[in-house]
Structure 1
Amino acid sequence: MNFELKTLSLSAAAAHPCDLLVVLVPEGFKPRADALSSLAAHALKAGDLDTKAGKLLPLYAPLGVSARRVALLGCGDGTARAVRQAVLAAGAMIKAPSVRRLALVFAAAPQAGAVGAAVRAVSEASYVYTATKSKAEPRALARVAVGVADAAAARAEFATATALVAGTEYAREWANRPANHATPTLVGQAAKALAKHPGIQCKVHGPAEVARLGMGAFLAVARGSEEPLRFIELRYEGAGKTQAPVVLVGKGITFDTGGISIKPAAEMDEMKFDMGGAASVLGVFRALADLRPAINVVGLIPACENMPDGRAVKPGDVVTSMSGQTIEILNTDAEGRLVLCDALAYAARFKPAVVIDIATLTGACVIALGGLRSGLFASDDGLAERLLAAGDAALDPCWRMPLDDEYAEGLKSNFADVANVAGRAGGSITAAKFLQRFVGNTPWAHLDIAGTAWKGGAAKGATGRPVGLLVHYLLGIEAAGSARKPARRAARVG
């Protein structure tokens, strides 16, 4: 799908050739002397059009307009959030098989972030999964013109948004694929495909290399599967070698049965989404390929299946992690933290400015925050503030959770340095406390995306989150001029 940013007045939009013309009408709309303004003014006066975000008035072949289908679409106060809500409400029209060319026009000057929100909402509304369907119709929409009063003023925002579309759709695609079409080997190939873009390098380690690295926790999780594990290492070099990189670590459990601590059968198919963290790292690198910011980023993905087998790790087994710490595995369904802990230890070799891990880690986080906000845990106040701000700017919000030292008490073990689970209470926090043991003094954040990486029910599918949050955070580093280590640290968060 091709996006184009154009300077379009409403009079010019009326003459623009397209299959569907969507006009975003905000509160306080001031009509001018053109056909579209006249239509909107009459509809508002008659009460047939409401400017509340998402209220839609479809029209067919109105006089003075080239497009056969026109939608007058209320966008509320015109903020990015309201525009996103409005465009998603028009999703059925946008996704119609007859709509190959769409024009989306702002009836008033867009507010900051609104153009980007509109672009990303069009992508979200029109996305179609087809990879494993024999007769699926691909996305009909091929070209999207976004019309604003001043295209030059919105160009940077538009460029970021189109890169985010590419990255988010890459993440959605790989998270949506069934486990037999997204094995660790295939995920490694998806990462290698990104290395075709300038500035991106990829290295994929197999079981032998992982064993030589001493990643005993990662190896333990993979033991029950016939699919060989892969440890994927991506690098984006947009700055000098002296600039410390940001390291992103994505949980890549391509299917999670729970292992010996097997999950209930109901909805177990959704465990193909357990590599949502890995998919988001792939998506971030796809966006970086288009944006080419002046920063350095490393992506690490420990990818494997968690399966029950005669060789599978058992509850009560003790394994030795790459860091040398021993771990008593009390529950084999708490496997994500086991693959992540070795990847976090490996991250130290890059002398990173910041480490951020992303994982569909705990059902407890879903109970705490639902599907709206990702859980954010951070060892550094400045890092937490920047991630929160990036999430708000990207309409991909998160919420900071505590990391008090007392939460780690439940992880004590009589037989190892640490247990991989504590009790049910505060489960997302104790999982984060487990991971914190493996990052040392590097500023670190953990995003628990168990509630936000996918949707269930009729809308079942991957969301591509938190690609938007992470890319906005990385662009913020570029804007600040360097990836300096944050000055303030916080051992406790109330």
Structure 2
Amino acid sequence: MKFTVVNNRFFENEQECILVGLFNAPEFTGELAELDSKFDGHLTELVKSGDLSSKLNAVSKVHTFGKIPAKRLVFIGLGKAKELSFDGLREAIGKASKSIQEMKISSFAVALDTLSTDQLDASDIAHAVSEAFTMATYRFPGYKHKGNVPETFINNLTAFSQEDSAEIEAALQVGYAHGRGVNSARALVNAPGNILTSTKLADYATEIGKKYEFEVEILDKEEMEKLGMGALLAVNQGSVEPPKMIVLKYQGRDEWNDVIGLVGKGITFDTGGYSLKPKDGIVGMKTDMGGAAAVLGAMEIIGELKPEQNVVAVIPSTDNMVSGNAFKPDDVITAMSGKTIEVLNTDAEGRLALADGMTYAKHHGANYLVDVATLTGGVIVALGNDKTGALTNDEALFEQVLEASSEAGEFIWRLPYTENDKKRVRSSKIADLNNSPGREGHAIMGGAFVGEFAEGTPWVHLDIAGTATSKSDHNLGPAGATGVMARTLALLVERFESSEK
């Protein structure tokens, strides 16, 4: 995407389309008043008749018929200026972007100053515009036979503003990087399990590493066996696809300290194993690597923006299949940490993979841990499909994750995590832990199990089982994968302050 910032009045330039903000106000002021005069007051008449609406998220198209050089204007309703938040603006821009995409044009412009409020400056608005446009216009190409008619993609965006051009262009680039990271995560989650295997996921991570000069390590099965990664290897036992432990390291400081570990569950397809999922529950399990996708999307954003932080991303990846070799309920396995685990449910496999992922992240020097996983159906029962569940052992780290999620507009809700919860995952009579203490507090039990492998390291667990996908189109994207937590993780890294500070 090419961005151009122009300091002229937006209505003096030739454009295919210009996006204009419309607030609920008694009359037009500033550039909008000048624009209305060029339309001989007809814009005011359109507002009075209700054909041009300032209601939040209302999209109105107006052809200029030569009144100004631009061919058409798209007005986006923004409601009352004092009530417009950054999230509200981002949603509105997303709605308008979808409308502009339908025009099948290759470029458009935005009148940034018509979107400004006392609370939102030009940089905020520029970030919201590029991020929302990039996310809202994402389309998964799929695998259908394509016709001969070429598709049109918007690859040029001009921003008109009287504010500092350099700051606006920088903000546009940051928003675009965030949107691209989300869309990369979406593409991974949308890919079928027979195409996106653990090997292909590792290849993708390697490409990211080469592009951004990350240190890359991909462990194969033999190397995992030598390191004693019995939890991840147990999940892989039933599969013909080899497992991978994927590691990306970004060093943004001179010394390798205060390292943030991002651990993403990478189960490329989950049958449930011998604790087999029902017919309705098994469809869609290609999305069970949503945590891995979020981590890789975040690493793309980090690679683009290069924050002065140290990050190690770890993705334990396999599929969970049924065969004569598959692990079984009642098996006892040994994780990399040395802890033994009684397997009571082979469909509680994500936490087993994460166990070795958490340990390996600490092996690479992680001082803080955030794991992301489509871990439990219980979190959907508890919180619905629009909230990510969280557990933590460290208040300060959780507050930083919470602030990042708020800035990203990705709602998280903290679940309780008590000593009694820890006792339940330690309740096996024959092993150190059991992987499924029961249905009660299922989301908490899943997170509490993963927390056993933090072992005193500050840690936050994010269960995205409900938020990783959307059943319907929304203002910031289509139905399917959402790319949730890619921006939250990236913002956590960008804004991070160590406990020592």
TM-score normalised per structure 2: 0.90
2:107 is aligned with 1:101: yes
Q: Name the residue aligned to 1:436.
A: 451
Q: Name the residue aligned to 2:418.
A: 404
Which whole-Å CA distance do the structure 1 matches of 2:64 and 2:264 have between them? 49
Which whole-Å CA distance do the structure 1 matches of 2:393 and 2:62 have between them? 53
CA contact (8 A) 1:8 1:105 kept: no
Q: Name the residue aligned to 2:58.
A: 55
Which of 118, 121, 135 is the matching residue for 2:129? 118
Which whole-Å CA distance do the structure 1 matches of 2:233 and 2:298 have between them? 26
Q: Name the residue aligned to 1:14.
A: 11
Counterparts in 2 of 1:152-163, with a 5 A limit?
Answer: 152-163=166-177
Counterparts in 2 of 1:55-94, with a 5 A limit?
Answer: 55-76=58-79, 77=81, 78-94=84-100
Cα pair distance change 1:208/1:153, threshold 3 Å: same
Cα pair distance change 1:298/1:394, threshold 3 Å: same
Q: In terms of mean alpha carbon deviation, does 289-298 or 237-246 score higher?
A: 237-246
CA contact (8 A) 2:14 2:71 kept: no
CA contact (8 A) 2:260 2:368 kept: yes
Cα pair distance change 1:138/1:370, threshold 3 Å: farther
Which of 42, 46, 55 is the matching residue for 1:43? 46
Q: Name the residue aligned to 1:235.
A: 249
Q: Name the residue aligned to 1:491.
A: none
Which whole-Å CA distance do the structure 2 matches of 1:429 and 1:39 have between them? 59
Which of 444, 456, 476 is the matching residue for 2:495? 476
2:398 is aligned with 1:377: no
Which whole-Å CA distance do the structure 2 matches of 1:57 and 1:289 have between them? 38
Which of 330, 341, 346 is the matching residue for 2:360? 346
Counterparts in 2 of 1:410-421, with a 5 A limit?
Answer: 410-411=424-425, 412-421=427-436
Unaligned 5+ runs, structure 2: none
Which of 205, 209, 213 is the matching residue for 1:195? 209
Q: CA deviation at 1:385?
A: 1.0
Counterparts in 2 of 1:12-411, with a 5 A limit?
Answer: 12-28=9-25, 30-32=29-31, 33-35=33-35, 40-76=43-79, 77=81, 78-96=84-102, 98-106=104-112, 107-109=114-116, 111-112=120-121, 113-135=124-146, 140-150=153-163, 151-266=165-280, 268-411=282-425
CA contact (8 A) 1:250 1:357 kept: yes
CA contact (8 A) 1:224 1:308 kept: yes
CA contact (8 A) 2:104 2:152 kept: no
CA contact (8 A) 1:31 1:41 kept: no
CA contact (8 A) 2:417 2:448 kept: yes
Q: In terms of mean alpha carbon deviation, does 33-42 or 379-388 score higher?
A: 33-42
Which whole-Å CA distance do the structure 2 matches of 1:191 and 1:139 have between them? 29
1:450-473 deviation line (CA, Å, top 9, x unaligned): 111111357541111111111111
Q: CA deviation at 1:401?
A: 1.6
Q: In terms of mean alpha carbon deviation, does 354-363 or 233-242 score higher?
A: 233-242
Q: CA deviation at 1:267?
A: 5.4
Which whole-Å CA distance do the structure 1 matches of 2:458 and 2:166 have between them? 37
Q: In terms of mean alpha carbon deviation, does 253-262 or 152-161 score higher?
A: 152-161
1:391-421 deviation line (CA, Å, top 9, x unaligned): 1111122122211111233321122111101
Which whole-Å CA distance do the structure 2 matches of 1:394 and 1:359 have between them? 18
Q: In terms of mean alpha carbon deviation, does 314-323 or 451-460 score higher?
A: 451-460
Cα pair distance change 1:378/1:210, threshold 3 Å: same
Cα pair distance change 1:14/1:341, threshold 3 Å: same
Number of residue pairs aligned between Structure 1 and Structure 2: 479
1:415-459 deviation line (CA, Å, top 9, x unaligned): 211110122121111111111111111111111111111113575
Instruction: Give the residue type in structure 1 aligned to 2:221.
Output: P
Instruction: Give the residue type in structure 1 aligned to 2:491.
Output: H
Q: CA deviation at 1:386?
A: 1.1
1:43-73 deviation line (CA, Å, top 9, x unaligned): 3344333322201211123442333332111
Q: CA deviation at 1:140?
A: 2.2
Which of 482, 489, 492 is the matching residue for 1:463? 482
Identity %: 33
Instruction: Give the residue type in structure 2 aligned to 1:386.
Output: Q
Q: RMSD of the TM alignment (CA)?
A: 2.1
Which whole-Å CA distance do the structure 2 matches of 1:141 and 1:86 have between them? 18
Name the SS of the counterpart of 2:422 in structure 1.
Answer: helix
Which whole-Å CA distance do the structure 1 matches of 2:387 and 2:438 have between them? 24
Q: CA deviation at 1:88?
A: 2.7
